[in-house]
Each structure stands twice: as C-alpha cells, then as structure tokens.
C-alpha cells in the first residue's frame, strides 16, 4: 500500500536516497516524499562474500529495502560498488591492520563510497542531491556549509562524517538530523514500513557483524607472538596483533593465574609491532592513558585551514563525551593535540574529530600518543 507520496504538481527536485534496508534510510525517504521531493532509491551492494554462516545479509537487506520502496511507491535500483569498496576501503583497512594500527573503515567508507561513488552515480543519473539516514545536520552560514551534531546526541554520527567537504555537503541531505531515534521508529510504524522494528546494523561497514577473527584470517595471515605484562612477565602467545586493539578486554584467553587474586579483568594496554609483542595488564594500567597525540591526514570541513592554536572539543571514538583540548600545528596536514584531562585507550589508526559547540570542524587520523611504552614503564617513566 502506498502510504507516503509526493505531490504531482509543480517542479520537483530529484533526490536519490541510499536505501540500506534499515529503518533510518526508510524514514529518510518517507520524510523527503512528504516534503514534496521526487525520490528514487538506490541500494548499494559493496561486498560480494556471504557471512560466516553462509548467508548473505545484503540479500535480506535488499528485500527489506524493496518492501519499503514498494510501500512508498518509489523506484529502487541495486548498484554494485564492490570493486570501489575493495580498492578504496578494504585494502586500506588491511594495510593498516598489517602495520599494527586499528583503522576505522566506516569513516573511509563514507568518504570513498557513500559520498563519492554513490554521489557521483546519483548526479550522473540526473539527481540534484543524495540523502542518507545519517544522524547529522547541515546548516548554511554565509557562504559556508556547516556540519552540525544531530539533535539526538546518542545517535549523532558526525564522527563518521568529518571527512566530508563543501562539495559533498552541498549535494547531501540528512533528513533525520532533527529527530530522536524513537521518533524515527514511530514514523516507520505509522507508515507500515517493514523496517520499523528492525535492529540497527552493527559490524564493519557493508561487511556486517560476523566473527571478526575468522573473517580477518581469510584475508591476513596472523603472526603469533609473545603476550607479556608491561613489567615483562611472559603470559603466553597471541594469535596476531591485528586481532587486538587498545583497551580490549574480551577474547584475550587469560584465565585465573597463580598469585593474582584481584579478580580484575585483563586489558590490552600496548602493542609493539616491531617485536610483535602484545602487552596486557590486569586492571586499568598507566600505559592506557595519554594527554597528547599527533595526527595526520588533517581535514577541515570548511575547506580552509583553521587558525591555531585553537581551543575546542574533540572525541577519539564514536559516542565518547566531548573532551576539551588545544590544537597546534605539527607540519603540513598534521596537528598536535593536548587534552585538558588524560584520555584512555587513544588508538593509532582511529580518528580524532574536532568540535566547536554543535559544529563538527573536521578531524585527523591518530598516529602516535604520549602514552608510555612498556620499556618506559619499566624504567619508571610512566
């Protein structure tokens, strides 16, 4: 049944919506129709392999997207960007893991696939803009477009969008930016959309939720090495540094040990790629904390360098509360950041994203921190 339609009178701006088969993109399309836009849907197929159980999540998501588009009375086309995804996103992901870093493929996927390949495709098809189900807002101030945090702080996704620039923002729409997630689900239920109670997707962008260790083992050869405490005690062997990230406390394979009765969990506190050593500690350890970092691939959304030193807020992971800091320059395309308070598990390969109030200014990729290495700790330099 067609429950939301665009009026048939007057000129209609054509918007292509990235339909993921989830509730957010479903409601984004619904809202645009209600606002009078001409809406078409595109389902992006960006991964060719099935999951570990032999099922293909993309097939189920496409069926849901098809159902939603049928209900709304709009077209849906599947477009395969899997080659672009593998070349521009996944190969970079693997290179970073080989180097002992922890990359964020969702950020790169937004830059290279959703707001590059998909945007280019939509414009070639005669669309004026694309729209997605991201929780973010765009505001024009003077001659500059600003990326603003969503009204729903718990769902805000500007952390994943900081690599966008003026050209992308001028051709993009985020219809959900003013809404709470509960409102989005209520709209979907009212429209009779099959996705109204569908769980949010998790896992690697477009690859989905699966056994991460098994998945990586198909693409990278794990190199076992020593697992030690910062004090140098040998605890056993790890299966490959690529399987671990700073602050991780699951899947370490460390049970109760003689002489250690605190009952505290074990954490990954450091990695030494050169010697292939994984450092773990029982309980929170000083090696997990840093007050400064250096980052590269610096990007400002305005397209213009921001004068430094700059006092602003930042986060080093999605949904982390904003942290006060000062940015200074560290060379072309680079920056140095000092936090007012020590930060836990700041991870090379991840991104730091900068904010001024509700505005997302841009961000950079973390390269190193001042967290003490195991050798420093043993020498008393922590």
Q: Which residues are catalytic?
A: 109, 205
Its sign, for the CA torsion 194, 157, 87, 347, is: negative
Its sign, for the CA torsion 116, 121, 125, 129, is: negative
Distance CA 227, CA 20 (A): 40
Burial tier of 255 (Cβ tally within 10 Å: 0-12, 13-18, 19+): exposed
Q: Give yes or no for a contact between 309 and 328, defined as CB atoms under 8 angstroms apart.
A: yes
- Say if strands 14-18 and 129-131 run parallel, antiparallel, or are unpaired: parallel
The two tokens of residue 105 are 């493929």
Long-range (24+ apart) CB contacts under 8 A made by 4-10 are 4/30, 4/33, 4/34, 4/72, 4/73, 4/191, 5/33, 5/72, 5/73, 6/33, 6/36, 6/37, 6/38, 6/39, 7/36, 10/36
Helix (H, G, I), strand (E, B) or coil at 27: helix
């Amino acid at each position: 049944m067609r429950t939301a339609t665009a009026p048939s009178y007057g000129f209609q701006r054509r918007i292509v919506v990235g339909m993921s088969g989830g509730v957010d993109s479903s409601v984004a399309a619904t809202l645009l129709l209600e606002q009078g836009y001409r809406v078409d849907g595109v389902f992006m197929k960006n991964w060719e392999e099935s999951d570990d159980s032999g099922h293909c999540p993309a097939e189920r998501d496409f069926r849901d997207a098809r159902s939603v588009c049928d209900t709304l009375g709009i077209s849906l086309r599947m477009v395969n960007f899997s080659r672009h995804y593998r070349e521009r996103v996944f190969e970079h992901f693997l290179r970073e893991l080989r180097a002992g870093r922890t990359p964020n493929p969702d950020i790169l996927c937004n830059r290279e696939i959703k707001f590059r390949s998909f945007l280019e495709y939509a414009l070639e098809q005669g669309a004026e803009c694309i729209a997605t189900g991201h929780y973010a807002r765009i505001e024009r101030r003077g001659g500059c477009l600003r990326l603003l945090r969503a009204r729903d702080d718990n769902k805000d996704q500007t952390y994943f969008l900081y690599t966008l620039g003026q050209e992308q923002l001028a051709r993009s729409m985020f219809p959900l930016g003013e809404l709470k997630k509960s409102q989005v689900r209520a709209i979907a239920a009212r429209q009779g959309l099959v996705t109204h109670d569908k769980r949010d997707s998790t896992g690697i962008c477009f690859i989905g939720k699966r056994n991460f260790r098994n998945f990586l083992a198909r693409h990278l050869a794990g190199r076992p090495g020593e697992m030690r405490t910062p004090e140098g005690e040998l605890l056993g062997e790890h299966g490959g540094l690529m399987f671990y990230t700073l602050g991780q406390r699951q899947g370490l394979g460390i049970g109760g040990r003689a002489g250690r009765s605190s009952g505290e969990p074990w954490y990954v506190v450091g990695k030494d790629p050169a010697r292939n050593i994984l450092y773990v500690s029982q309980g929170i350890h000083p090696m997990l904390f840093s007050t400064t970092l250096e980052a590269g691939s610096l990007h400002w959304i305005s397209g213009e360098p921001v004068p430094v030193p700059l006092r602003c807020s930042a986060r080093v992971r999605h949904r982390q509360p904003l942290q006060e800091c000062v940015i200074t320059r560290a060379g072309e395309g680079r920056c140095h950041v000092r936090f007012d308070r020590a930060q836990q598990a700041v991870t090379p390969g991840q991104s730091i994203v900068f904010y001024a109030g509700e505005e997302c200014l841009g961000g950079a990729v973390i390269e190193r921190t001042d967290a003490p290495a195991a050798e420093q700790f043993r020498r008393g330099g922590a």
